[in-house]
Amino acid sequence: METDEHLADDVAAERDLTRERGLHDADDATAHDGVDQIVGQWAHERPDLDTTAMAVFDRIANLSRIAGDRVERAYAEFGIGRPEFDVLATLRRAGDPFQLSPGELAASMMLSTGGTTARLDRLEKGGLVRRLPSPSDRRSVLVRLTEAGYEVVERAVGAGLAEQQRLLEDLPSEKLRQLDDLLREALRASGGVRVTGDLRWLGPARDAGSAGNRDGRGRGRGRS
């Protein structure tokens, strides 16, 4: 009887050990991704290569693609795409009266004038921006957010950020800050000092009558 009890204990212990090994293997499996497979193949075929940079950029590209798809779907709920959002967001960040010249918009988004014009045409047709004569040069125009454009970008930016945050919600805040610092350092080291995407900022084109609105008071006077 005692022998049977010891045997049962040994079987139970072996079962627990097997289960722990299985869980460990499962954790290892989930810790790997498609990039590891590619890097592993290169390591087998070309062991002389250091593929660390390849792995980093592949993961950045994959994460950016996933986030981009989700954010694009979020913007679509408001009837706009990423190109239109970039214009609206650039105007919104400029501050009251939320206006810039077409040239400033093009420079900020690193687009040709023609590419910017096409976006502005779509947004103006949708009632989200207006082209107004420049008070300093009647041959020039300024692009200004309308009330509708302001409301759309206010809601769209929140929806897009929520999608990005959901992708990273399992990452501890300390690790997220470290990742942000590392990516910033890598960007600077690469010479990419010009900020692109939603973080672009260019000072607003203001007429003399709006200079006192920089503190945000009177918000809405620049939109019509």
Q: What are the sequence ranges of the domains in the chain?
A: 35-189
What tokens appear for 214 in the block? 């920089």
Encode the chain (224 residues) as per-residue pLDDT tens digits: 545 555 445 545 554 444 444 434 444 444 688 999 999 999 999 999 999 999 999 999 999 999 999 999 999 999 999 999 999 999 999 999 999 999 999 988 888 878 889 999 999 999 999 999 988 887 889 999 999 999 999 999 999 999 999 999 999 999 999 999 999 999 999 886 555 554 333 333 333 333 333 333 344 445 55
Q: In 3-state terms, what secondary structure has residue 145?
A: strand
Kind and range of the H or E element at 187? Answer: helix 173-189
DSSP 41-107: HHHHH-TT---HHHHHHHHHHHHHHHHHHHHHHHHHTTT--HHHHHHHHHHHHT-TT-EE-HHHHHH
Q: With 0.85 as the threshold, say if the pTM is over it.
A: no
Q: What is the CA radius of gyration of the chain?
A: 27
> What is the CATH code of the structural domain delimited by 35-189?
1.10.10.10
C-beta atoms surrounding 87 within 10 Å: 26
What tokens appear for 169 in the block? 């919600």
